[in-house]
């Protein structure tokens, strides 16, 4: 949720942000109108209630016919107060809906436009060369007997799979390598719930334009999370947290679920786009003034992971129209995928400023005796199942084997190379 004072004092900044996103500027006007209507409705209700209280004193002093007349007026006024209270409640809900429809304000320097308008910040590493056409990750994985899509589909349907043998070890090794890096940099590991309440899912911004990507258990009114960011953002909801000794950093390891409702026909082969996967997610609560520096630190830790795995990649500054509602800036890291001859997203990191914390009511006290303020929140992925795609494709050899990155050797039960049976 955006700062209400920003809406009232600098609506043009919100309009400019929406223009960059390619959004509807009319959302700002609707929010302004709803906010004014809410304030008018509350003022009217409070005025009537004050009159009601004053009438009560007059009735107490009156007697006889005068008292009966006043009692009749009090009854009529009481009904008006009740109606005004109901109207004020409706106006509150309408204002909250209008304000909630506004996405976060993009930060200065974020590229304008849609998905294709990103800016490449750097390319790192050299894509491998092959004598012939490189195999895609599924062909490699099936020849190594470490990915079983056929049985995944048999058991659960399309976009499901089994990781088998060394494939399972590779995924677990990725998570352990990422956990090691996170803990060394002050992150507290959490195994979070993967089912959350509607208010938590909504508070993180995942029930907006991408609500159709989320699995909902209607009978229990719980949502399956597509990232542990959701549970980690809700971890300190309705709390005043202590940032006196620096930011609170958590890293969550969880199974994630996505409906992929808008991806019909895209990436139908293999494990690039699936309904269930593992993900290791960093999450930071920090003072807003330090958020941009933390964002670059998160990006640096992600790059350490890709470099440790020997993967060529590029870093892009995501355009405003592709940020999602919560992020004010997002960097994506895309690894080179040889079979496609293209870079594909492996990980991203987002600075959500105070957008999520306002919705979830997470605050801190900058000064011991001062008022509380919303914190800033940031998130970034340190490892996920999709990374296996880049590992298998970039490290495949002409004989069909795959060289395991040295950083993963401690987690591979002595294996350094995977070879076809």
HEC-encoded secondary structure of the chain: CCCHHHHHHCHHHHHHHHHHHCCCCHHHHHHHHHHHHHHHHHHHHHHHHHHHHHHHHHHHHCCHHHHHHHHHHHHHHHHHHHHHHHHHHHHHHHHHHHHHCCCCCCCCCCCCCCHHHCEEEEEECCCCCCCCCCCCHHHHHHHCCCEEHHHHHHHHCCCCCEECCHHHHHHHHHHHHHHHHHHHCCCEEECCCCEECHHHHHHCCCCCCCHHHCEEECCCCEEECCCCHHHHHHCCCCEEECCCCCCEEEEEEEEEECCCCCCCCCCCCCCCCCCEEEEEEEEEEECHHHHHHHHHHHHHHHHHHHHHCCCCEEEEECCHHHCCCCCCEEEEEEEEECCCCEEEEEEEEEECCCHHHHHHCEEECCCCCCCCEECEEEEEEEEECCHHHHHHHHCECCCCCEECCHHHHHHCCCCCEECCC
Please tell me the distance from the alpha carbon of residue 233 to that of residue 190, in angstroms, as a whole number. Answer: 12
Question: Does the pLDDT at position 254 exceed 80?
Answer: yes
pLDDT confidence of residue 69: 72
Q: Which of 21, 159, 249, 258 is catalytic?
A: 258
Domains and CATH numbers, the chain: 4-100 (1.10.287.40), 115-418 (3.30.930.10)
Q: Which of 334, 358, 386, 393 is catalytic?
A: 386
pTM of the model: 0.92
Per-residue exposure over 357-375, b if at least 16 CB sit within 10 Å of its own CB, e if not: bbbbebbbeeeeeeeebbb
Q: Which of 143, 326, 339, 348 is catalytic?
A: 348
Question: Does the pLDDT at position 369 exceed 90?
Answer: no
Residue 297: active-site member: no
Q: Summarize the confidence of residues 43-61 as an average pLDDT.
A: 78
Question: Does the pLDDT at position 265 exceed 80?
Answer: no
Per-residue exposure over 38-52, b if at least 16 CB sit within 10 Å of its own CB, e if not: beebbebbeebbeee
Q: Which pLDDT tens digit goes with each residue over 294-335?
A: 999 999 999 999 999 999 999 999 999 999 999 999 999 999
* Residue scoring higher pLDDT (357 or 205): 357
Question: Does the pLDDT at position 68 exceed 70?
Answer: no
Per-residue exposure over 240-267, b if at least 16 CB sit within 10 Å of its own CB, e if not: ebebeeebbbbbbbbebbbbbeeeeeeb
* Degrees, nearest 5: CA angle 377-299-260: 75
pLDDT confidence of residue 195: 98
pLDDT confidence of residue 53: 76
Dihedral of the alpha carbons of 55, 59, 60, 61, in degrees to the nearest 10: 110
Residue 344: active-site member: no
Residue 78: active-site member: no
Nearest to 299 by CA among 347, 250, 256: 347
Q: Which pLDDT tens digit goes with each residue over 328-346?
A: 999 999 999 999 999 999 9
Proportion of the chain above pLDDT 70, given as a percent: 95
Could you tell me the pLDDT band of residue 358, with boundaries at 50, 70 and 90? very high
pLDDT confidence of residue 71: 67
Question: Does the pLDDT at position 236 exceed 80?
Answer: yes
Nearest to 153 by CA among 47, 17, 271, 252: 271
Q: Which pLDDT tens digit goes with each residue over 94-114?
A: 999 999 999 999 999 999 999
How, if at all, do strands 248-257 and 188-190 pair?
A: parallel
Q: Which pLDDT tens digit goes with each residue over 273-285?
A: 999 999 999 999 9
- Cβ of 27: how many Cβ atoms within 10 Å? 17
Residues 6+ apart with CB under 8 A from 389: 137, 270, 271, 272, 335, 337, 344
* Residue scoring higher pLDDT (368 or 317): 317
pLDDT confidence of residue 192: 98
Q: Which of 56-60, 284-288, 408-412 has the lowest mean pLDDT?
A: 56-60
Residue 143: active-site member: no
pLDDT confidence of residue 121: 98
Residue 386: active-site member: yes
Distance of CA 333 to the CA centre of its chain: 16
pLDDT confidence of residue 276: 96
pLDDT confidence of residue 67: 66
Could you tell me the pLDDT band of residue 399, with boundaries at 50, 70 and 90? very high
Question: Does the pLDDT at position 183 exceed 90?
Answer: yes
Phi–psi pair at 182, nearest 5 degrees: -65, -45
Q: Which of 273, 314, 344, 365 is catalytic?
A: 273
Question: Does the pLDDT at position 228 exceed 80?
Answer: yes
């Amino acid at each position: 949720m955006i700062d209400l004072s920003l809406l009232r004092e600098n609506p043009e900044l919100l309009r400019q942000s929406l223009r960059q996103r390619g959004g509807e500027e009319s959302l700002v006007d609707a929010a302004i109108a709803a906010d004014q209507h809410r304030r008018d409705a509350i003022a009217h209700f409070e005025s009537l209630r004050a009159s009601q209280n004053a009438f009560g004193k007059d009735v107490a002093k009156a007697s006889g016919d005068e008292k009966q007349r006043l009692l009749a007026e009090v009854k009529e006024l009481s009904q008006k107060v009740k109606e005004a209270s109901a109207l004020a409640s409706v106006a509150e809900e309408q204002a909250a809906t209008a304000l909630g429809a506004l996405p976060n304000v993009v930060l200065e320097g974020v590229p304008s436009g849609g998905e294709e308008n990103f800016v490449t910040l750097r390319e790192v590493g050299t894509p491998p060369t092959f004598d012939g056409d490189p195999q895609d990750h599924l062909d490699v994985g099936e020849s190594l007997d470490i990915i079983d899509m056929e049985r995944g589909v048999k058991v659960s349907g399309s976009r499901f799979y089994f990781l088998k043998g060394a494939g399972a070890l590779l995924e677990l090794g990725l998570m352990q390598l990422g956990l090691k890096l996170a803990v060394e940099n002050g992150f507290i590991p959490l195994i979070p719930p993967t089912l959350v309440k509607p208010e938590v899912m909504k508070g993180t911004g995942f029930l907006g334009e991408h609500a159709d990507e989320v699995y909902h258990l209607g009978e229990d009114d719980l949502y399956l999370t597509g990232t542990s960011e959701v549970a980690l953002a809700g971890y300190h909801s309705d709390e005043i947290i202590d940032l006196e000794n620096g930011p609170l950093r958590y890293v969550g390891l969880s199974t994630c679920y996505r409906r992929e409702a808008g991806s019909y026909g895209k990436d139908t082969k293999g494990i690039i786009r699936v309904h269930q996967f593992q993900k290791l997610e960093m999450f930071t609560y920090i003072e807003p003034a330090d958020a941009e520096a933390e964002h670059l630190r998160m990006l640096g830790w992600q790059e350490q992971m890709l470099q440790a795995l020997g993967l060529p990649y590029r870093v892009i500054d995501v355009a405003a129209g592709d940020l999602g509602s919560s992020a004010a800036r997002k960097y994506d890291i895309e690894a080179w995928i040889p079979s496609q001859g293209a870079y594909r997203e492996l990980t991203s990191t987002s600075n959500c400023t105070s957008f999520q914390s306002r919705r979830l009511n997470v605050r801190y006290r900058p000064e011991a005796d001062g008022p509380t303020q919303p914190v800033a929140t940031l998130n970034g992925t340190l490892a996920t199942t999709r990374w296996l795609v880049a590992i298998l494709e970039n490290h495949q050899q002409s004989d069909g084997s795959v060289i395991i990155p040295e950083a993963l050797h401690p987690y591979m039960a002595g294996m350094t190379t995977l070879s076809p049976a």
